[in-house]
Chains A and B, each alone.
Chain A
Amino acid sequence: MGLREDLERFREVGEQRRQDLAEFIQYGDLGASRPDSVKVPVKIVDLPEFEYDQRDMGGVGQAEDGEPEPGDKVAEGEPDDGDGDGEPGEEAGEHEYYEMDPEEFARELDEQLGLDLDPKGREVVTEREGEYRDIRRSGPASTLDFDRLFKSGLKRKLATDFDEEYVREALRIDGWGPARAFEWAREERVPVSRTWLEDAYDDIPADERDRWRSRSEMESNVEQEQTSTRIRREGIDSIPLRREDERYRHPETIEEKETNVVVVNIRDVSGSMQETKRELVERTFTPLDWYLTGKYDNAEFVYIAHDAEAWEVEREEFFGIRSGGGTRISSAYELAADLLDEQYPWSEWNRYVFAAGDSENSSNDTEERVIPMMDEIDANLHAYVETQPSGNAISATHAEEVERHFRDNDDVAVAYVQDAADVVDAIYTVLSTEDTDE
């Protein structure tokens, strides 16, 4: 059927389509992705249609055990008519995702936005355990190279093994004795000792000691058996495993240059940060995280939420938190400075400090505390992203103040995001600022 070709073509189109990252970043569903795997909904591949705005359309659900009641939150996934089967022209309710790793994401974004950020700055030499290639004579039992020990034993066994019956026949040549036989054995490279020959000769009854008239008669009548044949026939009852053959494997130590980055994400969670603002922060920060993860060998993230106080949170909570309280942006920088000093020394880590909020701050905090701290904290880049959907409130001047003060610095970026359409520009502003940095 032509369907194979259709499937192939779909894959190709999908590939082309998922390059349309700008659209995904601005309007797509970022929630399905994890820090280590960016999932671009394949839905974007699908052709557009005139459709209702999902939110404005609402829908019909079916309650279970009387839940939910009017006013209750509708469970995740409910906003779907559940009509999952393929009807002509209809699409299934499920989303499919095109997965890419952060490296691919970073590459695509570079291409799309014309960025070219090389992970510069600190490169840290780390010692990494390589494969177990280094062999030593001592070590923990678990690293004993038994293969090698066995092979050595086998070799030794082979080296000392000989066809005993054959040698005994040599002792039965008329006129020979242990001494003559020993000479013969040396000549024939049979690893037999003189003592063995003497003992064997003693065991041979006297009437058998002249069985063969000559060496040639013996050799033409008796077949010498090869060691390998014998082992195959008899098996090995004992391999001489010797202590001196023991070898222990040790990992190779590989010295590697690795690029480390720590990204500090700071977000204002105070009461003025309405949902739309929160979402814009998430839309801006999440792709930045992916991008830097993709660019550096080792990326770590610190999430700081603040109102008038600051505290460190997990990524999962970061974008959802809401608190009451006022706003003091410097609280977050104080915490960031502590955390960076303790865990991410500037000598070893590339540092990015991204903050976002609606530019509202308590009076004089920006000028008196935040700006000095931004100066003080060593970082590849400081950025402030203002998310203010409905233009500026008069009191909200943090972004402007920062921008004014750092106008001439190339390691501070300020970006303004009013709606989702601005997100890609903001990301470009932030990343291109770093780009021209060093």
Chain B
Amino acid sequence: MSKNDRIRKRQVAQGLESHVDEAAKLARKLGLDPYPVNYWIVDHDEMNELIAYDGFQKRYPHWRWGMNYDRQRKQRQFLGGKAFEIVNNNDPSHAFLQKSNSLADQKAVITHVEAHADFFRNNRWFRLFDEGASYGGVDGSPTTPGSGPDAAAMLASHAETVTEYMNDPEIDREAVEEWVDHVACLDGCIDQHRAYRPTEEWERESPETDDEADTPEELAISEEVRDEVFDEEWREEHDPGEDALGEKDLLAYLAANGRAYDEETGRAVEYEEWQRELLELLRRESYYFAPQRMTKVMNEGWASYWESVMMTGENFADDDEFVSYADHMAQVLGSPGLNPYALGLELWTYVENRANRREVLEKLLRVEGVAPATFDDRVDLDEVLSLLEPVPEIANVVDHLDELDADDPRVDSDGLTAARDGEFDVDSYPWKVLSHEGLVERHYSLVQPPNRGFLKRTTRETLEQIDRYLFERDRYGSVREALADVEYGAGWDRMFAVRESHNDVTFIDEYLTEEFVEAGGYFTYEYSHRQDDYRATSTDPADVKRKLLLQFTNFGKPTVTVHDDNFGNRNELLLAHQYNGVALDVPQAKRVLERVFELWGRPVQLLTVVKEVDERDVKAASRRGQEPEPEEVGVRYRYDGDGFERIDVDREEWPPLSVGAVGYDTKPDEWLE
């Protein structure tokens, strides 16, 4: 980096210092609890590098990062280097700001980053990795309980380890790279819902699954006796599916039980030390990154929500920056397709409104004489909304500075004194004179223009639902009295609770509404065999939701588990695709199987269900104006190091069906013309 460059970066950094400090304070006052964030100023190319490395400065050597970088560079050439935020899950977090961004963009990025840092720190899925801490000695684990990961150090140490092995004259560099490739193919094959444990611990903890002695073939009895005692009926009852190992963490399983394939002797041999270490290292990275992959929609929506509160709600953007900020937001949220920012933001807004509405309805239903049946007659919602409006001095502190009372719990008395002494400009920092409670009231969602209809759209059903669990009825004499008791913080409190416990799947499942699907014009599409293209199939919100969930469940990938580690009593590894009605990409799965062979050292098999469509069926269905019904066939693919063999299997041998195996197909019975 040239001297000029450094100076320029320092200038940018100095210009941002106060904004960074203020954003961190504002975030905390709003109720966020972020990791401390270190901000770095980087240039365009450094930004590309950081993105390629998933937000870190050092990663182990691998061509994949080069590929990411190449892609990133090309993509950004066309996007014109738009404001990019990158922040990593680290305690403290590191956020990178691009030197060339406008000040409005930098501010937006900073507010966005604070919210991400809060999410990293408080979402429980991120703790699954940190919990590895209790096993001591794991790189990247928090040094003190309760603090977050030191991921930058972990990844840097991984980089060193891999580099050392690559440079080791005793080890073939290509072999190291290939080994990394093999393992990386199973990147998503971990048990992301369980806490990370180093493989040794994992082995100790995992329930004893070795029940091979229970199968007739393992008993030391003659074949005749065996067939006599263990007849068909017995075997059916003891369906292999029930005995299946069902282990989802393939990487741990292989680390504990795998062998390398030695080409010279054609035999399975124990892993070399470096192979074992690299496998574990990559598995650890998978666990580290998994929470981010599980909470993409939530996390981006969360950051967009708080960014908007800070930037527009609290004047973090100056008046003249506001237009460019609004433009930037419109671009981010308006990008076509299923956009995690827009989806997440919508869902969070819904969470907030729903909780606030519930709070209001619970109060209203306690007014004497108000019940679901009489609600419409007794309650004027326009009046309710105007009663809920924040008081003027809170809504507009700038014009009411003199009227604020330092003893009001909604007022930050120190801030008020400082403002009155002219220590800062209240126009720019209105939030400084308010407490958290004040901010809660100031940002109350139900009275804001976009949400005003929310309360009015309350259905009788919702009222009855709330009413059913209500106690202390007839507590209030009037609507006004009831509303005076409304907790303005209900929405945000709920949001904080949801951000702690949910992941994308549960989040979408719980909060994606019909209204959202209809308003957004979302539809599902399916492939048409007859037309050989994709056809829109349904706008039914339930269909859209199921289809969406498919894209988020298990990272949007099929679940593959260890089914049997001694298949056919030949030490073959049998993996099972937990079939949920959607078929595997078989050519690709076969390529994965080739890699698994290298990690198992012996033949490997994959049990799945394929869908076959006969030309004749297509023809016949076409004549009826329908789509052909594919035939589902249970199949085992076996790879022995040389080639593949396909074995069709009977229904009894099918892979275990995954729960909710039905319903991803949204094709109508009568295919629409």
Contact surface of A with B, Cβ cutoff 8 Å = 1-3, 5-14, 27, 42, 45-64, 66, 68-74, 78-84, 86-90, 92, 94, 96, 274-277, 279, 389-390
Contact = CB atoms under 8 A, between A and B. Distances in A.
A46 B65 CA distance: 11
A226 B70 CA distance: 62
Contact of B588 (A3, A48, A88, A96): A48
A50 B560 CA distance: 8
Given A3-B69, A9-B62, A51-B584, 16 more contacts: A2-B65, A6-B62, A10-B70, A46-B67, A49-B185, A49-B188, A53-B582, A61-B536, A62-B337, A62-B523, A69-B539, A71-B672, A72-B535, A81-B338, A83-B340, A89-B293
B159 interface: yes
A68 B528 CA distance: 15
B522 A62 contact: yes
A10 B293 contact: no
Per CB-CB distance, the 6 closest pairs between chain A and chain B, nearest first, are A82-B337, A71-B672, A10-B66, A6-B66, A7-B66, A63-B521
B352 to A, nearest CB: 23
Contact of B185 (A47, A53, A279): A47
Contact of A6 (B65, B337, B538, B664): B65
B524 A58 contact: yes
Contacts of B188: 49-50, 89
Contacts of A9: 61-63, 66, 177
Contacts of A275: 529, 532, 618
Interface stretch (B113-121, B493-501, B542-550): B542-550
10 contacts: A9-B66, A47-B64, A49-B588, A52-B584, A58-B547, A70-B535, A71-B673, A78-B525, A83-B296, A83-B340
B303 to A, nearest CB: 13
Given A51-B588, A59-B525, A86-B68, A274 B619 contact: yes
A92 B75 CA distance: 10
Contacts of B52: 3, 6, 86
A302 to B, nearest CB: 26
Given A82-B338, A94-B71, A53 B586 contact: yes
Contacts of B525: 58-61, 74, 78-79
Contacts of A84: 75
A110 B184 CA distance: 32
Contacts of A72: 535-536
Interface string B25-64: 0000000000000000000000001011110011101111
Contact of A61 (B61, B337, B533, B587): B337
A89 B187 CA distance: 8
Contacts of B539: 63, 69-70
Nearest to B183: A47
Contact of B615 (A6, A73, A389): A389
Contact of A66 (B335, B340, B521): B521
A61 B585 contact: no
B337 A81 contact: yes
B571 interface: no
A87 B293 contact: yes
B520 interface: yes
A117 B492 CA distance: 73
A58 B66 contact: no
B135 interface: no
Task: Summarize A's interface: helix, strand, loop or mixed.
Answer: loop
A86 B84 CA distance: 12
A86 B527 CA distance: 27
A345 B536 CA distance: 51
A48 B338 contact: no
A49 B63 contact: no
A96 B51 CA distance: 18
Contacts of A89: 187-188, 286, 289, 293, 555
A274 B592 CA distance: 32
B537 interface: yes
Interface in B650-673: 664-666, 668, 671-673
B513 interface: no
A58 B666 contact: yes
B63 A276 contact: no
A2 B71 contact: no
B83 to A, nearest CB: 13
A47 B598 CA distance: 15
A8 to B, nearest CB: 7
Contacts of A390: 614-616
Interface of B: 49, 51-54, 57-59, 61-72, 74-75, 159, 163, 177, 181, 184-185, 187-189, 286, 289, 292-293, 296, 335-340, 520-527, 529, 531-539, 544, 547-548, 550-551, 555-558, 560, 577, 582-589, 591-592, 595, 611, 614-616, 618-619, 664-666, 668, 671-673
Contacts of A49: 185, 187-188, 557, 588, 592
A191 to B, nearest CB: 61
A2 B50 CA distance: 12
B547 A64 contact: no
B602 to A, nearest CB: 20
A54 B69 contact: no
Contact of A96 (B71, B181, B289, B292): B71
Contacts of B522: 60-63
Nearest to B581: A56
Nearest to A80: B337
A83 B339 CA distance: 6
A115 B344 CA distance: 55
Nearest to B545: A60
Contacts of B54: 86, 88
Given A6-B69, A59-B547, A70-B536, A51 B74 contact: no
Contact of A52 (B51, B68, B557, B673): B557
A365 to B, nearest CB: 23
Contacts of B664: 57-58
A80 to B, nearest CB: 7
A50 B577 contact: yes
B58 A48 contact: no
Contacts of A56: 527, 582-583, 611
A1 B673 CA distance: 56
Given A59-B524, A274-B619, A10 B63 contact: yes
Contacts of A277: 615
Contact of A48 (B544, B595, B665): B595
Contacts of A11: 66
Most A C-beta atoms less than 10 A away, residue of B527, B536, B560, B618:
B536
Nearest to A1: B49
B584 A88 contact: no
Contacts of A86: 51-52, 54, 68, 71-72
A77 B326 CA distance: 28
Given A10-B70, A390-B616, A1 B577 contact: no
A94 B75 contact: yes
A80 B551 CA distance: 11
B48 to A, nearest CB: 9
A5 B548 CA distance: 38
A61 B532 CA distance: 18
B89 to A, nearest CB: 10
A51 B595 contact: no
Contact of A13 (B63, B537, B668): B63
Given A9-B66, A47-B185, A50-B557, A70 B336 contact: no
Contacts of B185: 47-49
Contacts of A66: 521
B597 to A, nearest CB: 13
Contacts of A12: 63
Contact of A47 (B184, B587, B614): B184
Nearest to A51: B585
A57 B557 CA distance: 10
A71 B535 CA distance: 6
A3 B66 contact: yes
A62 B551 contact: no
Contacts of A7: 65-66, 69-70
